[in-house]
């Protein structure tokens, strides 16, 4: 088994390109980091035809070698549970993103903002991924001409004031390609803000280099959202990456997916959100896990999610609490309990996190 401390002390360890070049893609290579179970070995083979699989050495080093229920391991190592879903394993597009794409990889679902899928690749393939239908699929890769078509669409659509760069993972692109995209978007007068959504601060935090941060600082206002799901991911390397993004001037938010067996308890989420806030990362959304083939073992009920959100309200700072949302073809729907119970004549009845009711005088005009 690989000596984790020794690996971490090597100079190449903190080179983001080395991390990508040396990704784990075989059971033999993964067995160097963890004691693979028979279920995991079999699943690596059997899921191959449906969804790609690879892991950065950095992320593998966070796994518990002996515990198959380790929250890091569960997110990225295939399990036979993936094969026993009642949904089809391939080609699902639950948010009808294709129908909402006027040009390739530009999802225009809300009037004023678009999701622009600028890369189809990721550093690691998360087993619960919402965009399983496309991530890692060369059909969705974007060449320069296709990127230009997306930029042209945004340029001729004046109601778009907010462009979210997503994927795949936009930060898998080279600095020069990232700057090529961002500088062109910045030149469009009606594009007020550019957002970057990336899981690289989690999967390969060394990607947040000084030169990337310089690019970010040149084209403000840029907002960045990342995707931590568990406190075990909040390592010193991750904290440094987030600090660099914040110092580059981009407000940093976080999206978490509610995942059974990984983070479906208010204690685990409270620790994660408190840890993020300590790193000056604002928890933005908590996503209900989407109906995607091969992810049944990750799904909780919405009632469970609402209960967790209610418990969080009583146990941590307001800005450590994200909005719990369900994404639908009609947009994101907030599921966070709102406390409104009913109108009672001149009063409105509300309910606090602890279950206590209050009547507020609130006369109708």
Ligand X SMILES: *Cc1c(COP(=O)(O)O)cnc(C)c1O
Q: Within 13 A of 246's CA, how many CA atoms are on the CB side?
A: 16
8 Å CB contact between 162 and 113: yes
- How far from 238 is each of 1, 62, 254, CA to CA, in Å? 24, 12, 13
Taking the complex as a whole, the smallest distance from the CB of residue 228 to ligand SF4 amounts, in Å, to 12
- Does 125 help bind ligand SF4 (rule: CB under 6 A)? yes
Contact between 335 and ligand X (CB under 6 A)?
Answer: no
d(CA 84, CA 131): 19
Min dist. Cβ of residue 239 to ligand X (A): 24
With contacts defined by CB under 6 A, name the span among 18-26, 86-94, 119-127, 137-145 that binds ligand SF4: 119-127
d(CA 117, CA 167): 4
237 touching ligand SF4, by CB under 6 A: no
The window from 25-33, 103-111, 129-137, 234-242 that contacts ligand X (CB under 6 A) reads 103-111
**Out of 169, 179, 233, 237, which residue is the one contacting ligand SF4 (CB under 6 A)?**
169
Distance between CA atoms of 250 and 244, rounded to whole angstroms? 9
Tokens of residue 121, six digits:
């690749």
Closer Cβ to ligand X, 109 or 263, answer by number: 109
Please give the size of the binding site for ligand X, defined by CB under 6 A: 9
122 is in the binding site of which of ligand SF4, ligand X, none (Cβ under 5 to 8 A by kind)? Answer: ligand SF4
> Looking at 79-87, 123-131, 333-341, 351-359, which segment touches ligand SF4 (CB under 6 A)?
123-131
CB under 5 to 8 A by kind: which of ligand SF4, ligand X, none does 107 bind? ligand X
- Contacting residue, 219, 332, 336, 339, with ligand X by CB under 6 A: 332
Which lies closer to ligand SF4 via its Cβ, residue 108 or residue 132? 132
b/e 86-108 (16+ beta carbons within 10 angstroms → b): eeebeebbebebeebbeeebbbb
357-361, strands of its sheet edge to edge: 340-344, 347-351, 357-361
| Strand pairing category for 252-257 and 222-226 | parallel
Helical packing angle, 144-155 and 175-186, nearest 10°: 20
Query: Is there binding between residue 199 and ligand SF4 (CB under 6 A)?
Result: yes
Q: Give contact residues for ligand SF4 (rule: CB under 6 A).
A: 122, 125-126, 129, 131, 135, 167-169, 199
Binding site for ligand X (CB under 6 A): 107, 109-110, 113-115, 164, 327, 332
């Amino acid at each position: 088994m690989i000596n984790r401390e020794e690996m971490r002390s090597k100079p190449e360890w903190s080179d983001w390109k080395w991390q990508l070049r040396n990704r784990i893609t075989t059971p033999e290579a993964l067995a160097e980091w963890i004691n693979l179970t028979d279920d995991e070995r079999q699943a690596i083979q059997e899921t191959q035809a449906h969804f790609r699989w690879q892991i950065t050495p950095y992320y593998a080093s966070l796994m518990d070698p002996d515990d198959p229920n380790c929250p890091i391991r569960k997110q990225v190592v295939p399990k036979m549970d993936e094969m026993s879903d009642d949904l089809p394993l391939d080609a699902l597009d639950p948010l009808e993103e294709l129908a909402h794409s006027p040009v390739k990889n530009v999802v225009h679902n809300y009037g004023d903002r678009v999701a622009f899928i600028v890369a189809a690749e990721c550093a690691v393939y998360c087993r619960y991924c919402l965009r399983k239908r496309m991530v890692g699929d060369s059909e969705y890769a974007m060449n320069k001409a296709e990127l230009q078509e997306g930029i042209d669409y945004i340029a001729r659509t004046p109601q778009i004031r907010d462009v979210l760069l997503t994927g795949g993972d936009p930060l898998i692109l080279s600095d020069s390609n990232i700057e090529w995209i961002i500088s062109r978007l910045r030149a469009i007068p009606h594009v007020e803000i550019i957002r970057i959504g990336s899981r690289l601060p989690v999967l390969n935090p060394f990607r947040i280099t000084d030169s990337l941060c310089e690019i970010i600082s040149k084209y403000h206002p840029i907002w960045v959202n990342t995707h931590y799901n568990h406190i075990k991911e909040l390592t010193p390397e991750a904290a440094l990456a987030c600090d660099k993004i914040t110092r580059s001037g981009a407000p940093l938010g976080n999206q978490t997916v509610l995942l059974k067996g990984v983070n479906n308890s208010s204690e685990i989420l409270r620790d994660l959100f408190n840890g993020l806030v300590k790193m000056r990362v604002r928890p933005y959304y908590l996503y209900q896990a989407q109906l995607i083939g091969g992810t049944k073992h990750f799904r909780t009920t919405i009632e469970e999610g609402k209960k967790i959100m209610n418990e969080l309200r009583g146990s941590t700072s307001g800005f450590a609490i994200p909005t719990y949302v369900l994404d639908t073809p009609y947009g994101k729907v907030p599921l966070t309990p709102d406390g409104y119970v009913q109108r009672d004549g001149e009063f409105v009845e509300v309910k606090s996190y602890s279950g206590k009711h209050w009547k507020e005088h609130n006369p109708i005009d």
